[in-house]
Homo-oligomer: A and B are copies of this chain.
Amino acid sequence: MATPATADRILNIAERLAQTQGFNGFSYADIAKELRITKATLHYHFPSKAELGRRLLERYHRSFVAALQDIDRTADGAAVKLERYVALYAAVLAKHRMCLCGMLAAELTTLPKPMREGVRAFFLANEAWVARVLDDGVRQGILRVTGSTPAAAARLVASLEGAMILARSFGDVGRFEAASHAMLAELVAT
């Protein structure tokens, strides 16, 4: 593995800062200091913070979709897929981070418009994937869903984001795990 290109190293730091302190909670100076380059160099790679945010969101969305495709490829059965999906969230929390889009959703009104749209697109992609898994599970008699699957998917995504933000507030990943396991248990057919 070669050393990541400068642009990627910048995004790595920006991503971590955005997931812990929010997009408005870090500055070019923070990234520059950590990478030991100057702010001017940052502006060479990302002319404006709005552009940095847009690219950050784009990369995050892409890697999340890739993770979902990996689950589709390697996991067998709707219940296992949902467990793997929840594990993606837990892994982020274990790094003391929030879901980037859960974080950005809180700051939504202060974000540049392309980012606002990116956040919504991320949630819609999540809901669509979960809804498809729920559909499969119901069809196979593995899962039991109350109401429509798109509504149940939206509920699960929102509940996971909420569980994440509360768990992080208490510095207690166990809170997330307890909540998410209960949510999945509700979905498994008895």
Report the Cα distance A103→B22, complex, angstroms.
11
Would you call A80 an interface residue if the criterion is a C-beta within 8 Å of the partner chain's C-beta atoms?
Answer: no
Q: Given the known A-B contacts A98-B106, A106-B22, A146-B186, are A158 and B165 also in contact in the complex, defined by CB atoms under 8 Å? A: yes
The reply to whether the CB of A75 lies closer than 8 angstroms to some CB of chain B is: no
Asked if A65 is at the interface of the complex by the 8 Å CB criterion, the answer is no
Binds B, one of A34-42, A51-59, A168-176: A168-176
Count of A interface residues, CB-CB < 8 Å:
44
Residue A142 lies at the interface, judged by CB distance under 8 Å to chain B: no
Q: How far is the CB of A107 from chain B (nearest CB, A)?
A: 6
A166 touches B161 (CB 8 A): yes
Chain A contacts to B: CB under 8 angstroms: 20-22, 24-25, 98, 102-103, 105-110, 119-120, 123, 146-147, 151-152, 154-155, 157-170, 175, 178-179, 182-183, 185-186
- 11 extra A-B contacts, CB within 8 A, seeds A22-B106, A105-B166, A155-B163: A21-B110, A22-B24, A22-B107, A105-B169, A146-B185, A151-B179, A154-B166, A155-B159, A158-B163, A158-B166, A159-B179
